[in-house]
């Protein structure tokens, strides 16, 4: 079973590698950057570089291309921030049909695409606090449209990322355990996925 992890604007960091190892499965990491060695020490610089690479739309295209090439081997997708928004934006494409689940963490640009209906099951997980919008209102709107949505109390954007000012070790531990359990359950119910 291969899990696609779409990173936030910090790209593929040691923390992302650690997260992938903690899942105990083969993971395919994708970042918004053409240079996978990109490293940023401030969120502002990372975000500027992300915009220079083409932003969410370009990142969504990159993920669609990857799924078109390797999709039959990828059964789950996890996205963080920009990665979550990019997965959401691309999720109407037929190349997403083989995914058994997408778990999307604090994809803030999802608010610009609330009419999207993904072709695969999706779980949207938002932080309670965001600087640019009211997550509670977005969560309610998406729930009204039939989506599975969670609002994580007492968290801020970036709660899964140790490089983010919003990092919350307790919430990260909770969701890593939930993701691992979900993957174990799917593996047990479907047998080992190739």
| Segment among 39-53, 71-85, 162-176 with least mean pLDDT | 39-53
In the chain, how many domains are there? 1
Give the percent of the chain with pLDDT over 90.
Answer: 86
Nearest to 80 by CA among 166, 21, 147, 2: 166
Structural domain of 43: 2-190
CATH of the domain at 86: 3.40.50.1820
Q: In the predicted model, is pLDDT for residue 106 greater than 60?
A: yes
Q: What is the pTM assigned to this prediction?
A: 0.94
Give the percent of the chain with pLDDT over 70.
Answer: 95
What pLDDT score does 194 carry? 47
What pLDDT score does 184 carry? 92
Q: What is the mean pLDDT of residues 71-95?
A: 95
């Amino acid at each position: 079973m291969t899990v696609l992890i779409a990173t936030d604007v910090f790209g593929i960091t040691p923390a992302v590698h650690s997260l992938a190892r903690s899942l105990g499965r083969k993971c395919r990491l994708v970042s918004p950057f053409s240079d996978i060695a990109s490293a940023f020490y401030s969120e502002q610089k990372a975000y500027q570089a992300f915009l220079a690479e083409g932003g969410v739309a370009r990142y969504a295209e990159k993920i669609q291309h990857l799924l078109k090439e390797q999709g039959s081997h990828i059964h789950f997708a996890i996205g963080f921030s920009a990665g979550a928004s990019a997965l959401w934006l691309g999720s109407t494409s037929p190349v997403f049909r083989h995914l058994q689940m997408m778990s999307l963490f604090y994809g803030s640009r999802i608010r610009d695409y609330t009419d999207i209906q993904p072709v695969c099951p999706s779980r949207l997980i938002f932080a309670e606090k965001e600087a640019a919008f009211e997550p509670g209102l977005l969560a309610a709107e998406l729930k009204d449209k039939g989506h599975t949505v969670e609002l994580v109390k007492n968290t801020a954007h970036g709660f899964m990322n140790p490089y983010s000012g919003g990092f919350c070790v307790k919430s990260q531990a909770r969701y890593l355990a939930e993701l691992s359990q979900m993957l174990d359950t799917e593996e047990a119910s479907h047998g080992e996925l190739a």
